[in-house]
């Protein structure tokens, strides 16, 4: 195990990257919904990512083994690559005001994830700098 893995650079970095990918998927669903708000028969989309994150939270909160977490991260990654969007359950039409609220929320979450990723990279650089000196 490298020093970076011991401070969270392994799984934590993967989770941050996955969360950023999920945020982009959510952004795509929201944008598509807004663009098709007036399209007759259009069914709103949702990011499939959100359902799978609940499973990941359960694994992490149960303090499961690292291999369980890594396996679920792989599943989430493949899902985002193959089927990032799904029809939103129970939604029959696009509510633009709700979509705009979701867009603002997603933007804030994305910015927070970027800030967290930057902090993690700063910590990794600090560790690498200390090991080199």
Asked if 84 contacts 53 with a C-beta cutoff of 8 angstroms, the reply is no
From the list 26, 7, 17, 4, the residue with the least C-alpha distance to 102 is: 26
Question: Would 37 be classed as within a structural domain?
Answer: yes
Is 74 within a domain? yes
Residue 57 included in any domain: yes
For the chain, percent of residues with pLDDT exceeding 70: 81
Tens of pLDDT, residues 41-95: 999 998 877 777 777 777 666 665 566 667 777 777 777 777 777 888 778 899 9
Containing structural domain, residue 112: 3-128
**Is 100 a domain residue?**
yes
Per-residue pLDDT band for 102 (boundaries 50, 70, 90) equals: very high
Decide if 110 is inside a domain.
yes
What is the count of structural domains for the chain? 1
Residue percentage of the chain with pLDDT more than 90: 35
Task: Name the pLDDT band for 98 (thresholds 50, 70, 90).
Answer: very high
Tokens found for residue 86: 């799904």
> What per-residue confidence (pLDDT) applies to 132?
55
CA separation for the pair 67, 100 (Å, rounded)? 38
Whole-prediction pTM: 0.74
When pLDDT is averaged across residues 12-41 and rounded to a whole number, the result is 90
User: pLDDT-derived band of residue 28, with 50, 70 and 90 as boundaries?
Assistant: very high
Q: What's the start-to-end Cα distance of the chain, in Å?
A: 20
Residue 133 lies in a domain: no
In a domain, 48, yes or no: yes
Q: Structure tokens of 112?
A: 């927070």
For residue 35, being part of any structural domain is answered with yes
Gap between the Cα atoms of 121 and 28, Å rounded? 27
């Amino acid at each position: 195990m490298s020093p970076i893995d011991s401070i969270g650079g392994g799984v934590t970095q993967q989770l941050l990257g996955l969360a950023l990918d999920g945020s982009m998927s959510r952004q795509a669903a929201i944008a598509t919904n807004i663009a098709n708000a007036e399209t007759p028969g259009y069914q709103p989309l949702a990011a499939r990512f959100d359902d799978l994150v609940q499973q990941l939270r359960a694994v992490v909160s149960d303090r499961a083994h690292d291999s369980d977490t890594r396996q679920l991260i792989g599943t989430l990654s493949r899902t985002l690559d193959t089927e990032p969007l799904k029809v939103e359950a129970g939604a029959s039409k696009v509510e633009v005001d709700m979509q705009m609220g979701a867009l603002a929320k997603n933007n804030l979450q994305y910015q927070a994830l970027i800030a967290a990723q930057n902090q993690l990279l700063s910590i990794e650089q600090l560790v690498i700098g200390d090991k080199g000196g």
